[in-house]
């Protein structure tokens, strides 16, 4: 468990952050108090303050109704917005002491749910306790009175924070019935905070897993992204698989838990995939990249083609063409989850190419092989480097060392050739217009065939000058006549 403070440390963290943001909250608190309204710092802001992680986004809840809140915020800062007014939320930006604070103030809520959708019938409440009980988890159901600095924790969130436990303020059955997306959020918080999910919460997630089907795919995708982009998503992914939730929106992942045959002729594909994801995240950091959803989806899903392609051939188990099959499966699944087309295309391409290196791993890389590898990877080359390196999970130290050195050799060869040639944009020295001029032909199939011939020569032999390219083209054309 990472970063869980003791009660004393948590309280000290909170006081330090309250002092840091005092110029903002004191002024805001004075405005609301003078107007006869309560104002509390609430939810994630309190949790993060207790953990010592409070940033520049501040969440408040108030007894004031939205119109009153908006009028008060206009007196606090010239930059406000009411896009969330229907849900009781008014936003603002405030610059103080060279820091820009993003502030959201929401009226106490006492929503009701119809049980058929996760959209609440918005209702405003009258008390902070009533507002907090409708929140997702106890660690997000704490508040601090801006005026008195009184800590409000009716559901034991501080103790759960100190214990590193995810629980719900009301019963998990009521909480998840109201909003099934909270089940995915539990997995995300488990990974983000390094917390354990309480047994009764896990049971409710298991029993109510099918309720996730009333949630829009866009919201599911957003939660899945949030989980995958944490530093350690394994715990949350395991929770989603073990409770059966993953079966309802990404069934290809639990399907990786292939039964091991009696001779253990293949590794556990599910555990292997999680390890590849762990290693891809480590490589992202080591190579200086920000968290990348394409890298992480590709790492998690690179072997989804194995279950449908598994065959036993004598004493061996095979997964022929699982790269191609997997790319098609992932394309279909990510479309169903409404991922952007660019993300889908990139993830599918990486999965299709993730075995390409192994065709060369045991031998020397010729210049033509390096050119083809770079050409096929295109814009995904750096991501392919990460995925291919991460895909080595063997416990055989000698084999792991050989694979690592082989890939280092490949990257070195790519850099070496890139210094001599324009590898990132490999194309023939003659374009379509030049081909037509030299051969005296009109646009058509033959122009494309000539282009492919010159491209193949470029890949195999490297760059040539324009005159040599012209002679090659004329010789090829003469041989066709």
Classify 112 as helix, strand or coil.
Answer: strand
Nearest CA-CA partner of 58 in 76, 42, 37:
42
Count of beta carbons in the 10 Å neighbourhood of residue 472 = 20
What architecture does CATH give domain 171-249? Orthogonal Bundle (1.10)
* pLDDT at residue 220 greater than cutoff 90: yes
pLDDT at residue 4 in the model: 65
Total residues found in the chain within this entry: 481
More confident call, 307 vs 239:
239
Domain 255-425 has what CATH class?
A: mainly alpha
Count of beta carbons in the 10 Å neighbourhood of residue 32 = 24
Helix (H) or strand (E) holding 450: helix 445-461
Nearest CA-CA partner of 140 in 162, 111, 161, 164:
161
pLDDT single digits (tens) 146-203? 988 889 999 999 999 989 999 999 999 999 998 999 999 999 999 999 999 999 999 9
The answer to whether residues 347 and 384 touch, using CB atoms and an 8 Å cutoff, is no
Tell me the pairing of strands 39-42 and 89-96: unpaired
Domain ranges for the chain: 1-163, 171-249, 255-425, 432-480
Classify 317 as helix, strand or coil.
Answer: strand
The answer to whether residues 94 and 24 touch, using CB atoms and an 8 Å cutoff, is yes
Tell me the pairing of strands 196-197 and 165-166: parallel
Residues facing residue 79 across a β-bridge: 93
Reduced to 3 DSSP states, what percent helix, strand and coil does the chain have, rounded to the nearest 5?
A: 60, 10, 30
> What is the chain's mean pLDDT, rounded?
86
The answer to whether residues 101 and 56 touch, using CB atoms and an 8 Å cutoff, is yes
Classify 286 as helix, strand or coil.
Answer: helix
Nearest CA-CA partner of 140 in 55, 280, 41:
41
pLDDT at residue 290 in the model: 94
Query: Rg of the chain's alpha carbons, rounded to an integer?
Result: 29
Residue 249 and residue 240: Cα distance in Å, rounded? 10
pLDDT single digits (tens) 12-60? 777 788 877 888 888 999 999 999 999 999 999 999 988 888 889 999 9
pLDDT at residue 79 in the model: 94
* pLDDT at residue 454 greater than cutoff 80: no
Residue 134 and residue 44: Cα distance in Å, rounded? 14
What architecture does CATH give domain 1-163? 2-Layer Sandwich (3.30)
Tell me the pairing of strands 39-42 and 143-145: antiparallel
pLDDT single digits (tens) 336-353? 999 999 999 999 999 999
- The DSSP secondary structure of 359-406, one letter per residue, reads GTTTSPPPHHHHHHHHHHHGGGHHHHHHHHHHT---S-HHHHHHHHHH
Confidence of residue 267 (pLDDT cuts 50, 70, 90): low
Which residues have a Cβ under 8 Å from the Cβ of 430 and sit 6 or more positions away? 438, 451, 454, 466, 469, 470, 473
The answer to whether residues 239 and 288 touch, using CB atoms and an 8 Å cutoff, is no
Confidence of residue 138 (pLDDT cuts 50, 70, 90): very high
Rounded alpha-carbon distances, angstroms, from residue 51 to 13, 102, 148, 193, 235: 7, 20, 21, 10, 20
As a whole number, mean pLDDT of residues 80-84 equals 92
As a whole number, mean pLDDT of residues 138-144 equals 94
Nearest CA-CA partner of 122 in 137, 136, 106:
106
């Amino acid at each position: 468990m990472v970063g869980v403070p003791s009660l004393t440390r948590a309280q000290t963290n909170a006081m330090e952050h309250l002092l840091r943001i005092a110029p903002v909250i004191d002024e805001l608190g004075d405005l609301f108090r003078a107007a006869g309204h309560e104002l509390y710092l609430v939810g994630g802001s309190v949790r993060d303050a207790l953990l010592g992680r409070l940033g520049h986004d501040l969440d408040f809840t108030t007894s004031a109704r939205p119109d009153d809140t908006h009028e008060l915020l206009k007196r606090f800062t010239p930059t406000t917005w009411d896009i969330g007014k229907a849900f009781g939320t008014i936003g603002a930006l405030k610059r103080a002491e060279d820091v820009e604070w993003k502030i959201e103030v929401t009226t106490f809520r006492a929503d009701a749910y119809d049980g058929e959708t996760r959209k609440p019938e918005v209702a405003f409440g009258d008390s902070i306790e009533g507002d907090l009980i409708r929140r997702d988890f106890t660690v997000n159901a704490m508040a601090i009175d801006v005026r008195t600095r009184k800590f409000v924790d009716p559901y034991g969130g501080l103790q759960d924070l100190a214990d590193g436990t995810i629980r719900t303020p009301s019963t998990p059955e009521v909480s998840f019935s109201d909003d099934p997306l909270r089940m995915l959020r539990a997995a995300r918080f488990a990974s983000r905070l390094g917390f354990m999910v309480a047994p009764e919460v896990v049971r409710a997630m298991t029993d109510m897993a099918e309720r996730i089907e009333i949630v829009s795919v866009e919201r599911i995708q957003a939660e899945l992204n949030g989980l995958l982009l944490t530093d350690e998503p394994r715990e949350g992914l395991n929770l989603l698989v073990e409770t059966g939730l993953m079966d309802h929106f990404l069934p290809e992942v639990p399907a990786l838990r292939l039964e091991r045959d009696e001779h253990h002729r293949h590794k556990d594909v599910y555990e292997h995939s999680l390890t590849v994801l762990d290693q891809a995240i480590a490589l992202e950091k080591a190579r200086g990249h920000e968290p990348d959803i394409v890298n992480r989806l590709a790492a998690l899903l690179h072997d989804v083609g194995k279950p449908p392609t598994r065959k036993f051939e004598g004493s061996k188990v095979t997964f022929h063409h699982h790269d191609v099959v997997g790319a098609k499966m992932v394309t279909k699944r990510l479309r169903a989850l409404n991922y952007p087309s660019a993300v889908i295309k990139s993830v599918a391409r990486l999965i299709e190419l993730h075995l390409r290196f192994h065709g060369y791993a045991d031998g020397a890389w010729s210049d033509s092989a390096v050119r083809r590898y770079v050409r096929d990877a295109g814009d995904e080359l750096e991501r392919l480097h990460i995925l291919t390196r991460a895909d080595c999970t063997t416990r055989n130290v000698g084999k792991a060392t050989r694979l690592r050195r082989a890939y280092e050799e490949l990257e070195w060869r790519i850099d070496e050739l890139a210094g001599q040639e324009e590898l990132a944009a490999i194309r023939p020295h003659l374009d379509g217009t030049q081909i037509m001029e030299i051969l005296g032909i009109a646009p058509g199939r033959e122009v494309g065939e000539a282009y492919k011939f010159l491209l193949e020569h470029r890949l195999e032999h490297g760059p040539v000058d324009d005159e040599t390219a012209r002679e090659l083209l004329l010789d090829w054309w003469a041989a066709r006549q």
